[in-house]
Amino acid sequence: MLRFARLLVPDAAEAEDVLQTALLRLTRHWSRQLDSPVAYVRATLVNLAKDRGRRSYLVPVPVQADPDLLTAGPDHAEAIAARAHLDQILAALPPKQRVTVVLRVIDGLSEAETAAIMECSPGTVKSNLARGLLKIRTALESSLAAAEETTR
C-alpha cells in the first residue's frame, strides 16, 4: 500500500502521511465487517491524493531525495534513477491524471474499476488517461532528446 501511495503522491513523507491517514480511517470502519479492507484503503488513498491536489497551495513543494541516502548495500543507481525519473514525471501530472495513470497503468485496474474508485464516469477515466499518457510521452521524448544531445 505504501508503494501505491508513493505513486499517487510525489513526496515520500507525504505519501507515508496519506497512507497513515487512510489506515486510521480503515480502523474507524473496521467494525462494519468490510468486504475488502484493501479496496477501502485504496479508495481512501485515491480520495486523499485528489484532496491534496485540490489544496496544493497548502502542501509543501517536494524536495528531490539524495540518491546517496537511498542506497544501502549494493549499488542500485539505475533503479534509483529510474524511480526518481518516474516520480518526477508523475509529479508533473495534475492530480486526477496522476491517479488515473497509476490506477490504470501501474496498478492494472480496468476502466470501470478506476471509475468506481475515482467516483467518475469511464469517459472521464479515458480522457484523463489519454491526457496523462500524452504528457508522459512528451516528457520522455524530451528527456531522451536531451540525453542524446549530451552524448554527442
Q: Are 104 and 125 in contact (CB under 8 A)?
A: yes
pLDDT for the residue 54: 62
- With cut-offs at 50, 70 and 90, classify the pLDDT of residue 83: confident
Confidence of residue 69 (pLDDT cuts 50, 70, 90): low
- Domains of the chain, by residue range, sit at 2-64+75-151
Give the DSSP letter of residue 61: P
Q: How far apart are CA 126 and CA 117, in angstroms?
A: 14
Averaged pLDDT for residues 123-133 = 95
Strands (E), the chain: none
pLDDT at 138: 92
Q: What's the pTM? A: 0.57
- Output the CATH code of domain 2-64+75-151: 1.20.140.160
Measure the CA–CA gap between 50 and 124, rounded to whole angstroms.
Answer: 14
Any idea of the CA torsion for 90, 91, 94, 97, to the nearest 10 degrees? 20
